[in-house]
A and B are shown apart, each in its own frame.
Chain A
Amino acid sequence: MSSPTSLKPDLRSVPVRALENVDVTTVALLAVMLTVLGDGSASGIDAVVSGMVTLVLIAVCLGGFNLVIQAVEWWHYELTLEEESLVVRSGILRPKRRTIPFSRIQQSTVSTTTVSRPFGLAALECETAGNPDESDLSVRYLERADAEDLQRRIQSTADVDVTSAEPPDRRRVFTLRPRELALYGVARAHPKTVLLAVLAWIGAHYFDPDPITDLRSTAIEVLEDLLPLSPVVVLGLVALAGWVAGVVLAIEHTARFRLSAGEGSFRRQHGLFRTTDADVSSDRIQIARVRSNPIHRALGLAQTDIGTAGLSDPAPFGLKWPLAPLARRDVAWGLVERAVGVDRSAVRLQSLPDRARRRYVVRYALGVVALAVGTVIAQRFVPSTRVIPLPLFALLLALTPLAGHVTWSHRGYALLEDYVVVRRGFWTRRTYVVPTDTVQNLTVSQSPFQRRVNLVSVRLDVASMPFLPGVPLPDVDASVGGRLQDRLLEDDSEDDSTETAIKGNDGPND
């Protein structure tokens, strides 16, 4: 390319982006708010119609607003291909000019979304080195042929390495099976949709109590013949409906999950209607986590997630990136091995010192005592609390050794050469694998109680927002804290050699 070429996204990308940006939850929220604020004078079919009209109006207004925003953004967006780099000018209020050298582009992807496909448009996404100071580029949207052409030109100019060549040599490493998909949807609480359903029901119940002929009371009349409809039962049914909706949504979004891996990158694709096709390069991976709840464990399954580092512009805080929504335990760990390079057979978790267990028992006992004292005081002033039987606390107190033991036994850690592995959680068990060189900083803290038994709590901070505030490693022997500090300060030198010996200082001062 001798002369710089400039191009803009296709004009049709304006409606596509506007459509994509209309958030269903925003619409629903606004609708609920308007219903709540509005006077509930209409009843029966009128109420339903007016409700629908409101909803449509909201959607149209939001859509129109989005359209204008996107149009202005489109107007200000310009892409220039220069000899060695891509220059992007964008921004309405704060115009920005970003230069991305071709040599920095590690891989580029052309992808279509459900909305963009009917318009014949595709997005071009370029991923630059995992350095947080540089950022990804995402051009939404270009004519599909243009996007592919541009991708080719970037690649030919950039001499992009093999991993980003169009048929990347990626192999499928995980496919979600139907049984696992179903379990993934079912074995979760879906608190969001349940809460939404319950809130909506309460709202409808509270703000619209009298109309006889509206849809809801008709439905209740119909159901009343079948069930003894006490409010509690209805609430239960509503919550169940919300949960089912959550299951359906989760299954829809996770269906056809497949993960492929190539040299230094992962790609995952999933979803029936809301499809996702995402790419991540391995050097952005900061942490891996295996998670399981009791149902998963009973069936020998687990989830694997990774946390990626934030890039400055599109995702400044990093993402939680599922590698496997649900897989057999060995498969899940295989993915962890592939993602962060840890050798699974070397991970031998050790339990916390016995002092920690004693500490937990004492802590729980003190908690129960505090509760009991609080109750006794409350019973003086608030008569209704007298229904709480005081012997209950004796029972709880008797259970504290068990609770302390359970907490203790579910925690564990392993310090490997280049990794720290931490496991915790009684109900949902989480095992974190943190490569030492992605630890941003490390805090060792010791409370006066811990000081007496020579324990410390360690927190490892990684550069991935979903995993803030860090990975906690509570109540380990004080020497572990010192070892980790030393390791962090030593291993961070340029060579990541197998320098693991824990040695003394090289002088704390200048």
Chain B
Amino acid sequence: MTEPSSRSPAESPTNRVHSRIRIVWAIKWLLVGVAAAVVGTVVLSDSPLERPLLAVAAASPVVGILLAVVRYRRFRYAVTDDGVYVRRGLVTVNETVVPAASIQQVDVDEPLLSRPFGLVSVRLYTAGTFGGRVAIPGLESEAATDLADRLDRLARGESDV
């Protein structure tokens, strides 16, 4: 895979999330594979779907690790006094920019799967969107709290640093 071309002068963000998140993401894919295996052998055994499902299950560890690695490599974020920038994506690369003034709410989530690995995520909410448009996963709890505090200050219009 080629690196996405850097097209905006403002953006060559270096912040990455914690590398342990790769394990979490890979496990997620593994779970999908397990689910496919269960469905294939128990529910849909002897149906034409059984073989494809088992194939998915067999491929999931390798594919999962691959996807997790790519996703980790792609994910970048940056926080400036002006706002937040996040780049993410597997195939299609998405870059989202949230101006500081439109941050409405900042949450620190502890997703079930990441918790055993000591990782939490920070989620940003802007007005009029469902579920928060931007999430930064895979942060260590302390870093996440710091980030959330910083974003909160930004949202209230106090610039820092």
Contacts and interface: CB of A to CB of B under 8 A. Distances in A.
A451 B5 contact: yes
Given A441-B96, A486-B8, A492 B79 contact: no
Given A445-B89, A461-B129, A510 B99 contact: no
A9 interface: no
A463 interface: yes
Interface string A446-470: 1110010010100001111100100
B97 A442 contact: yes
Contacts of A504: 9-10
B126 A482 contact: no
Contacts of B93: 445-446, 451
B142 interface: no
A142 to B, nearest CB: 32
B92 A445 contact: yes
Nearest to B91: A448
B92 A446 contact: yes
Contact of A445 (B15, B95, B134): B95
B53 to A, nearest CB: 21
A505 B80 CA distance: 10
A505 B11 CA distance: 8
Interface stretch (B31-39, B64-72, B100-108): B100-108
A39 interface: no
A389 interface: no
A38 to B, nearest CB: 38
Interface residues of A, number: 45
Contact of A309 (B85, B128, B161): B128
A297 B15 CA distance: 50
A509 B10 CA distance: 10
B92 A461 contact: no
Interface in B94-128: 94-102, 104, 126-128
A508 B128 contact: no
B8 to A, nearest CB: 3
Contacts of B129: 440-441, 461, 463, 468
Contacts of A446: 4, 92-93
A441 B9 contact: no
B78 A448 contact: no
Contacts of B14: 508-509
B99 A488 contact: yes
Interface residues of B, number: 41
Contact of A510 (B85, B100, B161): B161
Given A451-B2, A490-B82, A492-B100, A310 B128 contact: yes
A479 B7 contact: yes
Count chain B CB atoms within 10 A of each CB in A309, A454, A461, A494 and give the residue with the most: A461
B133 interface: yes
A347 interface: no
B95 A463 contact: no
A494 B101 CA distance: 9
A439 B129 CA distance: 12
A481 B8 contact: yes
A307 B14 CA distance: 37
Interface string A305-331: 000011000000110000000000000
A456 B11 CA distance: 15
B95 A492 contact: no
Contact of B8 (A309, A441, A443, A485): A485
Nearest to B79: A510
A507 interface: yes
B29 to A, nearest CB: 21
B52 interface: no
A53 to B, nearest CB: 43
Contact of B104 (A132, A483, A492): A132
Contact of A481 (B7, B13, B83, B128): B7
Interface in A467-507: 468, 478-479, 481-483, 485-486, 488-490, 492-494, 504-507
B158 to A, nearest CB: 12
Nearest to B9: A504
Contacts of A286: 128
A488 B83 contact: yes
Given A509-B13, A509-B78, A478 B128 contact: no
A443 B87 CA distance: 9
21 contacts: A132-B127, A318-B128, A440-B98, A440-B126, A441-B133, A444-B95, A445-B89, A447-B91, A448-B92, A451-B2, A451-B4, A463-B126, A478-B7, A485-B8, A485-B11, A488-B83, A488-B99, A489-B99, A490-B82, A492-B83, A505-B10
